Structures are given as C-alpha cells and as structure tokens.
Amino acid sequence: MRTLLSFFFSQLVVIILINFYYYGKFNFTIKSMWRKNEITFSGDEYWDEWERDMCDNPDKDETWRYWDSLCFRKFQNFEEVRIEVLSWSPPLVIYRNFFTKKQVESYLQLLKIQSLEEQEVVDEKGKPFISKVRVANGTVTPFDQYPEAESLLNTASRLIPAIDFSISEDISALSYNPGGHYAVHYDYLEYEEGSDDEFMNEFGNRMATFIMVFKKATSGGGTLFPSFGTVVRADAGDAFLWFDSKENGEMDMNVEHGGCPVYDGQKVISTIWVRSYGQRLFQEHNRNRSFDADVLLRSY
Ligand SMILES: O=C(O)CCC(=O)C(=O)O
Ligand SMILES: [Fe+2]
C-alpha cells in the first residue's frame, strides 16, 4: 500500500512539474509576441495589429518545414537552382543560395562607399515624398555603372530564363536599421490618369519583383504577404520573386506585401523590378488570371 501511495505521489509531482514547464514556455511565447507587438516605432500606425502578429510569429520562419511546401532542385545549364514554392498561383518563390558569398560581400562593400539616403514613396500622381509608410535608407546601383550590380543581374538572367531581366528598372538597394519597416503595399504602379511616366510608356508596368538578400536582421525584418499567410525570412545570398501582374498585364491583387519592422540588427536587400513590355511570358499567356509557378520551373 505504501509503495502504491509513494508511486502515486511521485507521478503527481512529475505531472505538476511538466505542467509548470509547459505553462512557463507558453506564457513566455505569448508574452514575447505581445511584447514585440508593443514595441513602437515611427510609422507603426500604418500597420494593423494582425499584420504585426504575423510578422512576429516565429512559426512562420521555416517554410521548408511545412507539410505542404514544395521544394525543387533544378539544373539550368549544369548549374543547380533550389526553388521553394510558397505560393503556386500567383507565384511566390524563394531561390536558396542563389548568389555566391563573393557576390554578397562585394555588393555590401559597394553600398558601404555609396551614401544611402532616406527613402521616399510616390503618391498617386507619381510624385515622390518622404513618408513614414517606409522607414529605410537606400540608393540606386545601375548595372552599367557597377560591375557588382551587373554580376547580380547576370546570375538572375542565367538562372531564371522565363524572365528577361534586361527589361527592368535599375537595381535599387534598401537598408533597414532597428525601427525600419515598409508597411503593406503593392509594387504595381497606379497613377492617376494624365500623369506622365516616360519609363512606363516605354517599358510598361511592373511585372515581377525580384528581391536579393544581403544581410538578414537578427530580429524582425521578414517580408509579409498577408494574402498568402506567409512571412519570407530569407538569408544572405538568397533571393525571392513574385509576380505583380496577372497574365493579361493587369495588377494582381493577391500580392500585397510589407517589410516587417526590424527589431535588432540590420537588413539589407536590393530589388530588381521587371517591366512588362517585350516579356515572352505575355506572348504565351494573356488570360485574366494569375500566373502559375510552373513558368519558373521550365528551362526554355
Ligand atoms: O523590405 C521588404 O521586405 C520589402 C521591400 C519592398 O516591398 C519594396 O521595396 O517594394
Ligand atoms: Fe514592395
């Protein structure tokens, strides 16, 4: 009887200890999420609470662990390309280890000697102005002026044959310090009628956004896609890409996205906005629907 009782009590103690452990863990997670959500920064009024909750949710970190994630290993002219598909239609994909360490380092070195400026956003007339919708520093690094930028363009053109990267805006770099962010927005440009944009007249609207990662923040700083329920947290040397337009060239409403607030460390990315006119994909597709990711998996 005594052994039975002592067995019973020892089990009780174990159960209580386990409960304490999990309660503590649970409490810690909730508290740390809640604490981050409480962090204020300049421009936080442009973020909804649920968007910040998604940004801060640590479960969104490792896409390749999801039971339904699709990972492809493709050979393009004997070079290996690793593609993680986060959304099939419209496509949102991460290219892992896309750039070499040397490319990453030399581009960061180039940014060090450039002076990065506080970034503006454009209004509906296409006019730039400073706004706390985006808090970041940046600069433009034209391909024809900087071999470090040209090398990135060459790699993208070689490994992603579906897209003609030469029909694009100059590569532009962004650096976010703690408190830096870019509230949820679309990249597809929408101006009021009558505003004149020569570049738009010649090359069309933004078809795709290609983001290259050079430095990952130590806390915060992912890229949130509310419609996909995903936060991309890519590493230095990775790149990710999505389509801003549908097959008929109109704006795709599913691809709103934002740069989550950086809490610690520095985030450095740079972007190539690919323009529509002359892209082969529009000759092959013209329906009123989103593109599918299979166009990125073909070799052409
Ligand atoms: O910082 C990010 O993660 C996103 C940047 C972005 O959306 C943009 O530059 O248009
Ligand atoms: Fe954007």
> Does residue 7 sit in the same domain as residue 120?
no
Atom 10 of ligand 1: nearest residue by CA position: 187
Q: Which domain holds residue 174?
A: 54-297
Q: How many domains does the chain have?
A: 2
Atom 8 of ligand 1: nearest residue by CA position: 187
Q: In sequence order, what are the beta bridge partners of 232? A: 223
Residue 282 falls inside a structural domain: yes
Confidence of residue 26 (pLDDT cuts 50, 70, 90): very low
Q: Is 244 in the pocket of ligand 1 (CB under 6 A)?
A: no
**Whole-number mean pLDDT of the chain?**
87
Q: Is 269 in the pocket of ligand 1 (CB under 6 A)?
A: yes
Average pLDDT value for residue range 215-231: 94
Q: What angle do CA 185, 187, 188 make, to 5 degrees?
A: 120
Kindly state the helix (H) or strand (E) to which residue 37 belongs, with its residue range.
helix 2-38
For residue 140, the SS3 value is strand
Residue 124 falls inside a structural domain: yes
Residue 68 clears pLDDT 70, i.e. is over it:
no
Residue 243 falls inside a structural domain: yes
Better-scored residue on pLDDT, 2 or 111: 111
Residue 122 clears pLDDT 90, i.e. is over it:
no
> Does residue 14 sit in the same domain as residue 67?
no
Atom 3 of ligand 1: nearest residue by CA position: 259
d(CA 150, CA 224): 28
Q: In sequence order, what are the beta bridge partners of 139? A: 173
> Does residue 74 sit in the same domain as residue 136?
yes
- Nearest ligand to residue 240 Cα: 1
- The answer to whether residues 158 and 77 touch, using CB atoms and an 8 Å cutoff, is yes
Residue 46 tokens, joined: 């442009």
> Does residue 246 sit in the same domain as residue 173?
yes
> Does residue 91 sit in the same domain as residue 152?
yes
Q: What number of helices (H) and strands (E) belong to the chain?
A: 7, 18
> Does residue 215 sit in the same domain as residue 125?
yes
Average pLDDT value for residue range 89-113: 96
> Does residue 13 sit in the same domain as residue 134?
no
Residues 6+ apart with CB under 8 A from 146: 110
How many Cα atoms within 13 Å fall on the side-chain side of residue 20? 6
> Does residue 148 sit in the same domain as residue 279?
yes
Residue 71 clears pLDDT 80, i.e. is over it:
yes
d(CA 50, CA 53): 5
Residue 209 falls inside a structural domain: yes
Determine the pLDDT at residue 43.
94
- The answer to whether residues 238 and 95 touch, using CB atoms and an 8 Å cutoff, is yes
Determine the pLDDT at residue 22.
47
> Does residue 279 sit in the same domain as residue 205?
yes
**Centroid of chain to Cα 186:** 12
CA of 260 to the centre of ligand 1 (A): 9
Which residue matches tokens 């986060």? 86
Residue 48 falls inside a structural domain: no
- The answer to whether residues 178 and 265 touch, using CB atoms and an 8 Å cutoff, is yes
- Expressed in angstroms, the distance from the first to the final Cα of the chain is 78
ipTM above 0.95, yes or no: yes
Average pLDDT value for residue range 73-102: 94
One-letter amino acid identity for 267?
Answer: K
Confidence of residue 57 (pLDDT cuts 50, 70, 90): confident
Which CATH number fits the domain that encloses residue 137?
Answer: 2.60.120.620
Determine the pLDDT at residue 130.
80
Atom 9 of ligand 1: nearest residue by CA position: 271
Q: Which atom of ligand 1 is nearest to the CA of 209?
A: 10
Determine the pLDDT at residue 55.
93
Average pLDDT value for residue range 143-161: 97
Residue 288 clears pLDDT 60, i.e. is over it:
yes
- The answer to whether residues 244 and 206 touch, using CB atoms and an 8 Å cutoff, is yes
Residue 266 clears pLDDT 90, i.e. is over it:
yes
Ligand 1 site-directed mutation target among 231, 271, 273, 274, most atoms within 8 Å of CB: 271
